[in-house]
Chains A and B, each alone.
Chain A
């Protein structure tokens, strides 16, 4: 147990500084004599007054309280918390990438433009799309961009389509993005197998259907086997099919959204392509489209002349416009490019094969101890239900908290919403069998503790800096600033 930590402001001793600068060798000017009165501070900014060593120790100590993929296993379902290879970081720091400016003349950044152009093509090939924009800064941003493209497409044909259909297992961002893009969301229930219910889908589509948003494999880790039928129902109604690429780690080099009938795809580079994730972002959510949507892509896209010169293609009159300052999170795009080049097509296929193998291994070993609501073969992730433990007064949240005591980041819990006491596990391909076994053994131990000593689990965690946070009070009565 680590002690409570003071805020940096509470370490202040008046007059202490963390810097030293040479004596001023030009005449000092009183700011009040050159800056209008109304624009001057009435009192000094309340900055912490500490030595450099205090700053370093304070933030180093805080950083040691973080948990990241470099600390340990992080099986957060639907988030693909794979290890981020350090060669990605090396390449992103090459001066030719790290020290250029987006307003530099095109001829002076041909290498960077070539990288973007190649990445656009690589992602298009990987997803079965005709053209890709690298601008969106994150997955949900990609979703919104894709929906704006769908909207522009329908409007260009003089059609007013206002509804976006999502299954009840969809990512929460899907209905949220649809709402922000100005659509109404229709949620349809899954069938008993956890897949899209074709009858429900047929009943939901109509002349006002703009799109269906789907992940495949879906959030239960199941492959939507009837995807071609799903695509036909949507296309026959005049709608488009949107692929949420959050689960692409299951299918690389094996199948492609474009071949399944999808018209628009986003990829989360911070999931599938091993770029930093979560608080370590920023992310990137490139969007790929079939040819009929290409005219609407955000401008610019990177083009290449017949002479092999790369340029910003801004001559796109039907474009929905720019969706991000400059051209996306360039440093992240460099990392993703590096990852793709490191693995190559065969390597990426093996990534997906191992991700699926790891998930199935874990599911089968855990099945005797937790319920598996959708048995069979899963893809890159799977869901368990902690329902059985409720008889002992132990809920999924308690299991997740207990895992903290063993040094694990817990899996995703209570999502997807259509599984009671849901635990959603995604091991990724980067973990060894020893790591998987150690985690599985811990889960089994906790399931046994729940039966023999439920209070032990209910009162966990014991080894963390803080115990159970009062999430309800934090949400009901948030304190959003400190008075220091």
Chain B
């Protein structure tokens, strides 16, 4: 059974989103996703300052099995990326919800509106069953 955190929102593509402060939403991939990918060996993240639209591919995640796109579940401007993943991509496997976070997006509209389009933890559980 994969770990699905109750304080987060989810996309069909297995990203999680967590509002942190103000207009900022932190994004990563779920425990289910890292388990499917296997050992992750390289993470490519977007440039800080780039503007992104929900559903866009903003980076890629390479594992020993495959290369997978990283999609942003929300729209806005990338304000921070987790540079530690460049040297330590294994954090995505060991701690996908905390140390393995990937980027932070400052949304243009309201946080509630962006989050409202995503799946609740219960809905996401039905996706991964």
Closest to B41 in A: A475
B residues with a Cβ closer than 8 A to A are 36, 38-39, 41-42, 62, 64-67, 89-90
- Measured between alpha carbons, how far is A417 from B69 in the docked complex, in Å? 13
- Measured between alpha carbons, how far is A417 from B68 in the docked complex, in Å? 10
Q: Which residues of A contact B38 (CB under 8 A)?
A: 414
Interface size class of A (residues with CB under 8 A): under 10
Beyond the given A414-B38, A472-B90, A475-B41, could you list 5 further A-B residue pairs with CB under 8 A, ordered by the A residue number? A471-B39, A472-B41, A475-B42, A475-B64, A476-B90
Within A172-197, the residues touching B (CB, 8 Å) are: 172
- Measured between alpha carbons, how far is A289 from B65 in the docked complex, in Å? 34
| Closest Cβ–Cβ distance, residue A188 to chain B (whole Å) | 14
- Measured between alpha carbons, how far is A420 from B64 in the docked complex, in Å? 16
The 10 closest A-B pairs by CB, nearest first: A472-B39, A475-B41, A471-B64, A414-B65, A476-B41, A472-B64, A472-B41, A417-B66, A475-B64, A476-B89
- Measured between alpha carbons, how far is A161 from B39 in the docked complex, in Å? 37
| Closest Cβ–Cβ distance, residue B52 to chain A (whole Å) | 17
0/1 interface trace, chain A 434-467, chain B, CB 8 Å (1 if under): 0000000000000000000000000000000000
- 21 A–B contact pairs at CB < 8 A? A172-B67, A414-B38, A414-B65, A414-B66, A417-B66, A420-B36, A471-B39, A471-B64, A472-B39, A472-B41, A472-B64, A472-B90, A475-B39, A475-B41, A475-B42, A475-B62, A475-B64, A476-B41, A476-B42, A476-B89, A476-B90
| Closest Cβ–Cβ distance, residue B84 to chain A (whole Å) | 13
- Measured between alpha carbons, how far is A177 from B66 in the docked complex, in Å? 17
| Closest Cβ–Cβ distance, residue B89 to chain A (whole Å) | 7
Q: Which residues of A contact B39 (CB under 8 A)?
A: 471-472, 475
Closest to B64 in A: A471
- Measured between alpha carbons, how far is A146 from B70 in the docked complex, in Å? 29
- Measured between alpha carbons, how far is A420 from B41 in the docked complex, in Å? 20
- Measured between alpha carbons, how far is A172 from B68 in the docked complex, in Å? 11
- Measured between alpha carbons, how far is A414 from B42 in the docked complex, in Å? 18
Within A398-443, the residues touching B (CB, 8 Å) are: 414, 417, 420
Closest to A420 in B: B36
Closest to A475 in B: B41
| Closest Cβ–Cβ distance, residue B118 to chain A (whole Å) | 20
Q: Which residues of B contact A471 (CB under 8 A)?
A: 39, 64
Closest to A395 in B: B38
| Closest Cβ–Cβ distance, residue B63 to chain A (whole Å) | 8
- Measured between alpha carbons, how far is A292 from B65 in the docked complex, in Å? 40
Q: Which residues of A contact B67 (CB under 8 A)?
A: 172
| Closest Cβ–Cβ distance, residue B85 to chain A (whole Å) | 11
Q: Which residues of B contact A414 (CB under 8 A)?
A: 38, 65-66
Q: Which residues of B contact A475 (CB under 8 A)?
A: 39, 41-42, 62, 64
- Measured between alpha carbons, how far is A420 from B66 in the docked complex, in Å? 13
- Measured between alpha carbons, how far is A417 from B38 in the docked complex, in Å? 13
Q: Which residues of A contact B41 (CB under 8 A)?
A: 472, 475-476
| Closest Cβ–Cβ distance, residue A399 to chain B (whole Å) | 15
Q: Which residues of B contact A172 (CB under 8 A)?
A: 67
- Measured between alpha carbons, how far is A476 from B42 in the docked complex, in Å? 7
- Measured between alpha carbons, how far is A172 from B62 in the docked complex, in Å? 13
- Measured between alpha carbons, how far is A417 from B42 in the docked complex, in Å? 19
- Measured between alpha carbons, how far is A287 from B106 in the docked complex, in Å? 48
Most chain B beta-carbon contacts within 10 A, residue among A172, A417, A420? A417
- Measured between alpha carbons, how far is A420 from B65 in the docked complex, in Å? 12
Q: Which residues of A contact B66 (CB under 8 A)?
A: 414, 417
- Measured between alpha carbons, how far is A417 from B37 in the docked complex, in Å? 10
| Closest Cβ–Cβ distance, residue A176 to chain B (whole Å) | 10
- Measured between alpha carbons, how far is A388 from B105 in the docked complex, in Å? 39
- Measured between alpha carbons, how far is A472 from B67 in the docked complex, in Å? 14
Closest to B62 in A: A475
Most chain B beta-carbon contacts within 10 A, residue among A172, A417, A420, A472? A472
| Closest Cβ–Cβ distance, residue A175 to chain B (whole Å) | 10
Closest to B69 in A: A187
0/1 interface trace, chain A 55-91, chain B, CB 8 Å (1 if under): 0000000000000000000000000000000000000
- Measured between alpha carbons, how far is A476 from B65 in the docked complex, in Å? 13
Closest to A187 in B: B69
Q: Which residues of A contact B64 (CB under 8 A)?
A: 471-472, 475
- Measured between alpha carbons, how far is A333 from B84 in the docked complex, in Å? 50
| Closest Cβ–Cβ distance, residue B13 to chain A (whole Å) | 12
- Measured between alpha carbons, how far is A414 from B90 in the docked complex, in Å? 20
Q: Which residues of B contact A417 (CB under 8 A)?
A: 66
- Measured between alpha carbons, how far is A476 from B43 in the docked complex, in Å? 11
- Measured between alpha carbons, how far is A414 from B68 in the docked complex, in Å? 13
- Measured between alpha carbons, how far is A471 from B40 in the docked complex, in Å? 10
Q: Which residues of B contact A420 (CB under 8 A)?
A: 36
Q: Which residues of A contact B90 (CB under 8 A)?
A: 472, 476
Within A269-302, the residues touching B (CB, 8 Å) are: none
- Measured between alpha carbons, how far is A136 from B67 in the docked complex, in Å? 26
- Measured between alpha carbons, how far is A471 from B39 in the docked complex, in Å? 8
- Measured between alpha carbons, how far is A420 from B67 in the docked complex, in Å? 16
| Closest Cβ–Cβ distance, residue B129 to chain A (whole Å) | 13
- Measured between alpha carbons, how far is A333 from B65 in the docked complex, in Å? 33
| Closest Cβ–Cβ distance, residue B69 to chain A (whole Å) | 9
Within A189-229, the residues touching B (CB, 8 Å) are: none
Within A153-179, the residues touching B (CB, 8 Å) are: 172
Q: Which residues of A contact B62 (CB under 8 A)?
A: 475
Q: Which residues of A contact B89 (CB under 8 A)?
A: 476
- Measured between alpha carbons, how far is A420 from B39 in the docked complex, in Å? 16
- Measured between alpha carbons, how far is A417 from B89 in the docked complex, in Å? 22
